[in-house]
Amino acid sequence: MPLNVNNIKIVAIIPCLNEERFIGDVVARAIKHVDKVIVVDDGSSDNTAKVASQSGAEVISHGTRQGAGAATRTGFEAAIKYGAEIAVTLDGDGQHNPDEIPDIVQPVLAGKADLVIGSRFLCAAKVPLHRKLGINIITWLYNVGHKEKIVDGQSGFRAYSRKAFEVIKITYPGFGFSIQSLVQTRKNKLKITEVPVSCIYHDAGSTQHPITHGLGVMWAVIKIRMKEEFFKSGG
């Protein structure tokens, strides 16, 4: 049954690209814990949209690839139209365990957080060394200069309160949006917390080279932090 407490609407948003191998299972498991699953198909060339729809998701398709940030923005917009009060984001490649959605959502339901990060490093998840190094650098770039620290700035498994996903304005189409959303949440003085989650890395679960991806995100984070520090109205 969905985690519907006092008629609070919870949606799961799954941005994905060419994930027909995994998306059906992810949707089928996620839908047990939420009121609606929204899959944003970011221009897939396979049967991602068809499999997601057959598994019970509402599918929104981008005609062409726009990036994970753009897909998440589309998901937030759909969640607002649906009247959701909590939005959970997770990947469509099977990396995240949908059965951990209750753990991600609980701090929001309890009023203890507006953005909950599912952290891979609070439970010593097995993250490939090169990925861990990149994540640590990106997270350090987010943390530096602030008292409240996090340990996993790149996890896509998150829960957002309505207040959070309404104030977050994603302008980075790529994965830099993950830090942009954290910076905007922090600037709006909303509470961020982390809970431990597991993760599974599949050989076929990523469409980008991890080093190229990591460098691109690092550069985006530097630009976001520079804007935050020198143009206080930005984010």
For 46-102, the pLDDT digits (tens) are 999 999 999 999 999 998 999 999 999 999 999 999 999 999 999 999 999 999 999
Secondary structure (3-state) at 14: strand
Q: Is the pLDDT of residue 189 over 90?
A: yes
CB of 46 closer than 8 Å to CB of 122: no
For residue 126, CA distances in Å to 3, 62, 160, 214, 226 come to: 28, 33, 25, 18, 32
Q: Is the pLDDT of residue 111 over 50?
A: yes
**Confidence (pLDDT) at 127:** 74
Bigger pLDDT: 134 vs 124: 134
Residue ranges of E strands in the chain: 10-16, 36-42, 58-62, 86-89, 115-119, 158-161, 192-196
Tokens encoding 186: 């922090």
CB of 69 closer than 8 Å to CB of 172: yes
CB of 5 closer than 8 Å to CB of 81: no
Local confidence band at 234 (pLDDT 50, 70, 90 cut-offs): very low
Q: Is the pLDDT of residue 215 over 80?
A: no
Provide, rounded to the nearest whole percent, the portion of the chain with pLDDT above 70: 83
For the chain, how are helix, strand and coil distributed in percent, rounded to 5? 40, 15, 45
Provide, rounded to the nearest whole percent, the portion of the chain with pLDDT above 90: 68
**Confidence (pLDDT) at 205:** 46
Rounded CA separation 51/47 (Å): 6
* CATH class of the domain comprising 10-230: alpha beta
Local confidence band at 3 (pLDDT 50, 70, 90 cut-offs): low
